[in-house]
Amino acid sequence: MLQVDFPLLSDWNGEAVEGFGVAHTYVGMNGVAQRTAFLVDGGGTVRGAWRYGSSEVPDANALVAAARDLSS
């Protein structure tokens, strides 16, 4: 458990994938999200964006730290 006090987004219908321009084709499937993370403030402004290669593992600690820095 990450123990964070801010909301996390899950994009079940793919609207964010299209809106953020991170859709691509993967193993013959269209509209799959590239491995990305976005930090959005309470007003809806994107404050950070990270894009990773398909074999990279995002650094969850760095992402949580960036979110905490924004909220302080």
Indicate the pLDDT class of residue 1, thresholds 50, 70 and 90: low
Domain 15-71 classification at class level: alpha beta
What residues contact 7, with CB distance under 8 A and at least 6 apart? none
Domain boundaries, the chain: 15-71
**What are the angstrom distances between the C-alpha of 42 and each of 6, 46, 50, 55, 65?**
10, 10, 19, 31, 17
69 vs 9 pLDDT, higher one: 69
Distance CA 7, CA 29 (A): 29
Q: What's the confidence (pLDDT) of residue 41? A: 86
pTM (2 decimals)?
A: 0.74
pLDDT tens per residue, range 19-71: 999 999 989 999 898 999 999 888 889 999 999 988 898 998 999 899 888 87
